[in-house]
Structure 1
Amino acid sequence: MRTREVLLRAAAEVFGEVGYPGASITKIIDRAGVTTGAVYFHFRSKEGLARAVIQEQAADLDFPEGEPGLQHLLDLTLYLASELQRNTLLRAGVRLAVEQSEAGLQEYSIYEWWAERFGEELDEARGRGELLPDADTGAFASTLVAAFTGAQIMSQLASGRADLPRRITSMWRCLLPGLAPADVIGRLEFTTYGEEGSTR
């Protein structure tokens, strides 16, 4: 594994455990087993490391396959809910994105990236005739990112994210009537992704 990747994953572990204020370059160096010079060559500062973890939070994800559209978007969000329970880079990136005001990072681009990713699925859903005529895909994609973010924060506080898939399912059941016709909603399946794969 390249030095930059080693540093990124070590930083994700430390940020995920103690947050930005509790993390230090020394802790990250010790975890990575590299030199101080390696850190500053690749990232220049703790802030640079934090930005990289936020921006690259999805790097280790293996997104579920499937035909683009509403079912695939639903599957994607439930997959993310399960990955937040165990994927170190994703967990740390999400934590930093939520808590970044403490560090003065102001890194909003990751929220735009997720909204664009969700929006692509919604545009495909529209092309398949799965959405209500007046559904605003851009607005819904941004709302979905916000709702998911809020749900995972509440889940982290309530259960260490153990109940996050259930919360995301509930979120969808509340949001879907404003997005899709009843017959389309009736065909959707809520997939739970676990350690042994996925079940419906």
Structure 2
Amino acid sequence: MARARQERAEITRQAILDGAAIAFDDCGFEGTSLSDVVRHAGVTKGALYFHFPSKQALARTLMDEQFRVAENVPAIENPGLQTIIDLSHRMAHGLRTDVRVRAGIRLVIEVGSFTSPDPTPYDAWIDTCRTCLTPAQQNGDIHPSLDVGALSALLVAAFTGIQVTSHVRTRREDLHHRVTDLWNFLLPTIVPTDRMARFHPTGTPHSHGAAVN
């Protein structure tokens, strides 16, 4: 019985997150009420408050959802530059197809950048990039004179701007193309000429849907 209750509770929690993602994606943080979340989720307000004490708590949980895209990166045996290229396309895919990722990113930009500035999500992505680019540099795939930390910060900032611009101009229909442009322009600058053929700026085939390897 206890296990059944736990399973029902988790189903309800996921429904609330799905409903909140739809509402936040449509209307943003300020434009969304808990009544909107309840309506989209198909639950009672009591159920919502049982799992989430406030709209802020819901938003924080969804802001963390974006990191599902990179959740398997720590388990990759030999992460490198292609890992980050693929991850950028994986995030582009998530923004185009997953309302939770889309809502989380909107909240990071809207709330975490302006209403209540919080560098944590940006720092987390920078750390993920650095984790992959440091061994890439050690293996000779990135020029030894480059500051990997600065490069990681540049990549996160560039992707953030690219996806916002793509959203405004094409509702992210061209996002994979714009991410590919980023890598086509950047790779000749950071990769030694004799290593260029190793990397695919369009991402490897699995990066547009499956997990990053």
| TM-score of Structure 1 vs Structure 2, range by shorter chain | 0.7 to 0.9
* 2:82 matched residue in structure 1: 71
User: Alpha carbons of 1:72 and 1:66: their partners in 2 closer, same or farther (altered >3 Å)?
Assistant: farther
Partner of 1:40: 49
Superposition pairs of residues 7-22 of structure 1, within 5 angstroms: 7-22=16-31
Q: CA deviation at 1:155?
A: 0.3
Q: Deviations over 1:125-165 (max 9, x none)?
A: 12322110111111111111110000000000111101001
| Pick aligned residue for 1:4 from 4, 13, 19 | 13
| Alignment partners' CA distance in 1, 2:161 and 2:112 | 16
Q: How does 1:38-187 map to 2 (within 5 A)?
A: 38-59=47-68, 67-100=78-111, 104-187=115-198
Identity of aligned residues (%): 36
SS in 2 for 1:21: coil
CA distance in 2, matches of 1:32, 1:47: 17
- The answer on whether the counterparts of 2:70 and 2:87 sit within 8 Å (CA) in structure 1 is no
Q: TM-score, normalised by structure 1?
A: 0.87
Cα deviation for residue 86 of structure 1 reads 0.5
Q: Distance in 2 between matches of 1:134 and 1:103?
A: 35
TM-score, normalised on structure 2? 0.82
2:38 aligned residue: 29
What SS does the corresponding residue of 2:30 show, helix, strand or coil?
Answer: helix
**CA drift at 1:62:** 7.3
Structure 2 stretches lacking a partner, 5+ long: 1-6
Provide structure 1 residue ranges, at least 5 long, that are not aligned to the other structure.
none
Shift in alpha-carbon separation, 1:5–1:107, aligned structure 2, 3 A: farther
3-state secondary structure, aligned to 2:101: helix
Q: What's the Cα RMSD here? A: 2.5
Instruction: Tell me the matched-pair count.
Output: 197
Can you list the C-alpha shifts for 1:164-192, whole angstroms capped at 9, x where unaligned?
Answer: 01111111122223322122223211226
